[in-house]
Amino acid sequence: MINRQTLNQDLTLIDIHSKKNLSDKDRTELIEKYDITNEILDYADDTNERARLEFDEHTNTFLIVFNVQRETANDDDTTDSTLPVSFAIKDDQLFLFTNNDTHYLKDYITKADNHFTGDLDDRIWEIIFNTFDQVSSDYNDRMSEINQSRSRIQEHIKHSHSSKNQILELAGLEDLITYISTAINGNFNVVKQIEIISTGKIQNISLSKKSKEHLHDSIIEIEQIREQANITSDIIDRVSNTYNNILNNQTNTTMKILTVYTIVLSIPTIVSGFYGMNMKLPVADKWWSWFFSLIVTAVLILMILWDLHRRNSL
């Protein structure tokens, strides 16, 4: 579905909202009516496309692919936690390619357009940079949620409350932070490309001093989130390793206890086995032989326990 919306300063937002993939009808209309090339549409329609910046010289069109979070988190499948969204800039028209999971970005663009007052020569780029800031803020909020989940798991570890659910939750956090880190790194490369191109004044990106400062601030914000994501990923890895060490230690302790029990319980079997033989044994015919066997058993058990304690095996 293609919707036109007039923005301030005679700019036009072309909202291409697909259920999942771009329909043939919408593709044809974009090619014939708006002169968007098939190559750009292929990039914009690819749900697995990496973050990138492209420029088509023949149609004077910029394409920006930016990674955003899906509107509703899917805890069962972290592979779709981030999705690419495409912006195409052609003259005074801003094309936004979204699907059901990313269409919320239209609200960001509308709010960004209303945020700027007065006339701006590079208003369309200011809108995009402001949208980048909103997306970065979403990532920052998600990082806070991940850190809260990680802290909760750490509290369980401190109290030795290990369970299968916590192990699976920790593994899910590891997968999620990996996808988020990859998405943020891709976004960082895109804004750096825009900065390099605008600084060199090539490919028709001419930004005002204020817009360059805004772009620089956006780069710093994304870089800070990228560092935060790396730190969070490192902490989660350490927590996971600690959890594994605790589980391994618990297993070793259990095996150690079972081994001690096996050794101690084998002594009565050995002593009673001797006195259960059909042959003459020392003091076997005495009335106190039963008590004697108990004393021998107890002495042997105490000797074994003392030896294990001496070797720091208890």
* pLDDT digits 0-9 by tens, 91-134: 889 999 988 888 899 999 998 888 876 666 788 889 999 999 99
Burial zone of 74 (CB within 10 Å; 0-12 exposed, 13-18 middle, 19+ buried): exposed
- Predicted confidence at residue 204, as pLDDT, reads 61
pLDDT given at position 137: 92
Percent of the chain surpassing pLDDT 70:
90
Which residue among 202, 224, 248 closes a domain?
A: 248
What confidence score (pLDDT) does residue 160 get?
A: 63
Top-confidence residue, 234 or 167: 234
pTM: 0.76
d(C-alpha 130, C-alpha 112), whole Å: 6
Verify that 129 and 220 share a domain, yes or no.
Answer: yes
Give dist(CA 258, CA 270) in Å, integer: 18
Query: 40-84 pLDDT, tens per residue?
Result: 888 888 888 899 998 888 888 899 999 999 887 665 556 678 899
Interval 243-300: pLDDT, tens: 777 777 778 878 888 888 888 878 788 777 776 766 676 776 777 777 777 888 888 8
List the Cα angle 222/228/230 in 5-degree steps: 105
* Beta bridge pairs of residue 2: 16
Taking the C-alpha atoms of residue 93 and residue 4, their distance in angstroms, rounded to an integer, is: 10
Backbone φ, ψ for residue 86 (5° rounding): -115, 140
Enter the tokens of residue 114: 């209303």
Instruction: Judge if 231 and 258 occupy the same domain.
Output: no
Q: Based on the domain organization, do 222 and 82 belong to the same domain? A: yes
Asked if 146 and 283 sit in the same domain, the reply is no
| pLDDT number for residue 10 | 83
Residue 40 is encoded by which pair of tokens?
Answer: 């750009």
Would you state the pLDDT for residue 270? 78
User: Hey, what are 289's tokens?
Assistant: 């032989």
pLDDT at position 139? 92
Q: What pLDDT score was predicted for residue 181?
A: 92
Residue 314 has pLDDT above 70, yes or no: no
User: Is the domain of 204 the same as that of 301?
Assistant: no
* 110 and 31 both lie in a single domain: yes
Among 206, 229, 248, give the residue marking a domain's end: 248
Q: CATH code at 195?
A: 3.30.460.20
Instruction: Note whether 44 and 137 are same-domain residues.
Output: yes
What are 162-194's pLDDT values in tens digits?
Answer: 667 777 888 888 889 999 999 999 999 999 988
Q: pLDDT digits over 9-52, tens only?
A: 788 888 888 877 788 888 888 888 888 888 888 888 888 889 99
Residues 216 and 274 in one domain: no
Structural domains in the chain (count): 2
Confidence bin at 224 (pLDDT 50/70/90): very high
pLDDT at 70: 86
Q: Report in angstroms the alpha-carbon separations of 133 from 11, 50, 207.
A: 21, 19, 17
Residues 8 and 124 in one domain: yes
Q: Which of 248, 267, 297 is the last residue of a domain?
A: 248
**Greater pLDDT, 312 or 111:** 111
Q: Are residues 236 and 271 in the same domain?
A: no
Smallest CA-to-CA distance from 147 within 245, 244, 241, 234 is with: 234
How far is residue 99's CA from residue 128's CA, in Å, rounded to a whole number?
A: 18
Q: Is the CB of residue 66 less than 8 Å from the CB of residue 51? A: yes
**Domain encompassing residue 148:** 2-248
Q: Are residues 117 and 174 in the same domain?
A: yes
Same domain, 239 and 305: no
